[in-house]
Amino acid sequence: MDALRKRSRLRTWLRRLALTGGCAVAALLVLIGVAELWTWGLSGGKCHDTPAACRADSVGLVLGCSKYIRRGYRNYFYIKRMEAAAELWKSGRVRCLIVSGDNRAMNYNEPRDMRNSLISLGVPADRIVCDFAGICTYDSVVRANRIFGADHLIIVSQESHAERAVAIARHLGIDAEGLNARRFDITRRARLRAWLRERAARVAMLYDFLTNRTPRHLGKPEPLPY
């Protein structure tokens, strides 16, 4: 009898665990779905593959990422993003470029790296503004408007990231478009990792919206060079 009771309790516990796990998975899928719909609803038709499709007389916002995947290995997301930003500048669609990213350590400085790369691609140094407090996409977008006074943005990044950034901007009442950096071949594992990371970032975006989060670092307004 004791053995029967133990098996019965075990079965009950497993059913409850399965139910709890199923509810958690269902809730997560709902969150992901809502985040996707919100992103598509706000950014649909606003992200372009060429600068010619973007509005003129704008400010470019180049979102940061690491220059290297690891020591000695270049990050092709970074390379294609810088090429797209330089192409945007040369198209005459923007008055200047804000390069916004993380500046977490003495030897890790995304805005500095982006600025140097853009100068090497022909963008004038005096038309590049560094935002060293763009520690995440949400903060970069908010600071471009509140600190630098940009009222129309062309946000440069890879397609999925640009969609999310444009959705953030338009939710906050900032007029924004996206410029999609060119695609390139990556491994299936890297593609899956990037897809999962973007889904998580879009769910986090909902939290920022619902809480009306303030960027970690704000300060005095800084004029743009135009």
Instruction: Write down the pTM of the prediction.
Output: 0.85
| 51-104 residue pLDDT tens | 999 999 899 999 998 888 776 678 889 999 999 999 999 999 999 999 999 887
| 116-170 residue pLDDT tens | 999 999 999 999 999 999 999 999 999 999 999 999 999 999 999 999 999 999 9
- The answer to whether the CB of 150 falls within 8 A of the CB of 144 is yes
Delimit the domains of the chain by residue range.
41-211
Q: Which of 23, 33, 109, 31 shows the shortest CA–CA distance to 65?
A: 109
Q: Is the pLDDT of residue 24 over 80?
A: no
HSE toward the beta carbon, residue 210, CA cutoff 13 A: 10
Q: Is the pLDDT of residue 35 over 90?
A: no
Q: Which CATH architecture fits 41-211?
A: 3-Layer(aba) Sandwich (3.40)
Pairing of strands 73-74, 68-70: antiparallel
- The answer to whether the CB of 124 falls within 8 A of the CB of 90 is no
CB within 8 Å of 184: residues ≥ 6 apart: 76, 80
